[in-house]
Amino acid sequence: MASEHDVGSGAFAVGIYLTFSEFSFKNESISVAFQANPTELCICNKERIIVEAIKEIAKSIDFDPYRYRKDFPVLEQMIHGMPLVYLDNAATTQKPNAVINTIVNYYKRDNANVHRAIHQLGERATLAFEEARKKIAAFINAPSSRQIIFTRGTTESINLVASAWGEKFISEGDEIILTEMEHHSNLVPWQLLAKKVGAKLKFIPFTESGVLDFEVFERILSNRTRLVAITSMSNVFGTINPIKRITRMAKDRGIPVLLDGAQSVPHLPTDVQILDCDFLAFSGHKMLGPTGIGVLYAKINYLENMRPYQGGGEMIQSVWLERSTWNEIPHKFEAGTPNIAGAIAFGAAIDYLNRIGMSQITLYEQELTTYALNRMSEIDEIVIYGNAPERGGVISFNLGDIHPHDLSHFLDQQGIAVRAGHHCAQPIMRKLDIAATTRASFYFYNTKEEIDYLVDKLKEALKFFSP
């Protein structure tokens, strides 16, 4: 059996993003593969072995989504007379009672401003707020909770880096490497920065199957590259990018890496020390937490050298009329009264995820996704965009020539919530030469029965729109 919490061998990075420190393997022969030297796992066929092994294990896990569904009051309703089938989790996830009650109880019992009041409520609020920071730090295995900066979400986290770090360290003629599969929020902030300082953006293209082209990456890395900013999981293709491989290539040249973890952190075990990323951005609302709260993790040396992001209360140490000195990190980057209830409830979401276990969640979602892909491929008229071997539960597709808006409207009539549109990734749509896709995205509370229902309704839609 693999040792459960041994970061050296039991925990490994598969060259893909997964780290499996917590899980004990059911199959001895697979566990041998898992204990291999993590650096060797980048070799492609080994990666493939691991991916296959994960799929095997996924089949054998005993995960009951119905056990968790009852914790989510929103899922209990009818839409147009049909039970709600919520398949828009890449946009935002639903919230369990544990999170909802945390918000309610905070406002009922503890509400106060943080870090300022010397009264009982202020103390409780501050304690709970800082406790949440620690939970989040532990969740991604950050060395210190000082490295967790609360923001409004992934978008603000990336903007924070672009402004507080980028404006100081990136200058004219420098290059930033992004990919062609970025969400607008990991694209537009860099466009703004590039324009401001005169830097250039370079892009790693994706192939037909929705995976990054490493030959091009190798070629565009240069001595002018100052940053590689990349999504760890695509919100369009579901592709899980080989982060370990990317950080290693960048590190060889001393280039920092920023990860947009909006889609990966909610679904995959995340260990920032194994991934060796310098910045990681993610959002609470995509992982059971409330909207308006997110996180920027960064390595300490970056945080210490960054400029403040916004000015105001909380982020200062001493203020004179003409100048100020800055508070310590992380507070230096958290000007003004933060989203206190949001942060505490995000902490409750983390507790909930930990109780289930992130490895369990990953494995179950792998199984569910494989099931969905198989079932959906039964339909001849379906085109699925992206078929990366390492992928999460995000499936973008088109059905015959039914426009995604018409299809999603039809599905809504059946109680199914999916997304239609460009998914904040217009450059991807342009490259695929499509206006939009329909996207079904899963979380651990989704079931195979829901997927069967989706497939039935897709077949009905074909009859309805093109009889």
Binding site for another protein (CB under 8 A): 80, 402-406, 409-410, 413-414, 420-422, 426, 429, 435-436, 464-466
Q: Between residues 30 and 461, which has the closer beta carbon with respect to another protein?
A: 461
88's CB contacts (< 8 A; 6+ apart) are 417, 418, 419, 439, 441
Q: Could you give the CA distance from residue 451 to residue 22 in angstroms, rounded to a whole number?
A: 29
First to last CA, the chain: 56
Instruction: Compute the Cα dihedral for 403, 407, 410, 415 and give only its sign.
Output: negative
Is 185 a residue that touches ligand PLP (CB under 6 A)?
yes
User: Quick one: which of 138, 168, 157 has its CA closest to 304?
Assistant: 168
Residue selected from 47, 174, 260, 365 as contacting ligand PLP according to rule CB under 6 A? 260
- Binding segment toward ligand PLP, per CB under 6 A, in 69-77, 136-144, 218-226, 259-267: 259-267
**Residue 283 within binding range of ligand PLP, rule CB under 6 A:** yes
* Of 8-16, 38-46, 76-84, 153-161: span binding ligand PLP (CB under 6 A): 153-161
Residue 337 interacts with, from another protein, ligand PLP, none (CB under 5-8 Å by kind): none
Binding residue (CB under 6 A) for ligand PLP from 21, 159, 225, 231: 231
Residue with Cβ nearer ligand PLP (234 or 360): 234
Residue 427 · residue 270 · CB < 8 Å? no
Query: Per-residue b/e over 364-382, b at no fewer than 16 CB within 10 Å?
Result: bbbbbbebbbebbeebeeb
Residue 372 Cβ, how far from another protein at the closest point, in Å? Answer: 23
CB of residue 448 to another protein, shortest distance in Å: 24
Among the listed residues 42, 44, 277, 424, the single catalytic one is 424
The reply on whether position 270 binds ligand PLP by CB under 6 A is no
Neighbours of 430 (CB within 10 A): 12
Binder of residue 153, out of another protein, ligand PLP, none (CB less than 5 to 8 A by kind): ligand PLP
Long-range contacts (CB closer than 8 Å, 24 or more residues apart) made by 410-414: 410/457, 410/461, 410/464, 410/465, 411/438, 411/454, 411/457, 411/458, 411/461, 412/79, 412/80, 413/80, 414/80, 414/82, 414/85, 414/453, 414/457, 414/460
Minimum distance, C-beta of residue 465 to another protein, in the bound complex (Å)? 7
Q: What are residue 312's phi and psi, to 5 degrees?
A: 155, -160
- Per rule CB under 6 A, is residue 235 in the interface with ligand PLP? yes
- Reduced to 3 states (helix: H, G, I; strand: E, B; else coil), residue 278 is coil
- The residue whose two tokens read 């070799």 is 43
Is 424 designated active site?
A: yes
Of these partners, ligand PLP, another protein, none, which one is at the site of residue 80 (CB under 5 to 8 Å by kind)?
another protein
Picked from another protein, ligand PLP, none, the partner binding residue 185 (CB below 5 to 8 A depending on kind) is: ligand PLP
Question: Taking CB within 5 to 8 Å according to partner kind, which of another protein, ligand PLP, none is near residue 187?
Answer: none
* Residue 241 engages ligand PLP in binding (rule: CB under 6 A): no
Q: Rule CB under 6 A: is residue 392 a binding residue for ligand PLP?
A: no
Residue 231's binding partner out of another protein, ligand PLP, none, with CB under 5 to 8 Å set by partner kind: ligand PLP
Question: Per-residue DSSP letters for 102-151?
Answer: HHHHIIIII---TTT--SHHHHHHHHHHHHHHHHHHHHTT-S-GGGEEEE
Residues that bind ligand PLP (CB under 6 A): 90, 153-155, 183, 185-186, 231, 235, 260, 262-263, 283, 294, 424
Query: Which residues are known catalytic residues?
Result: 424
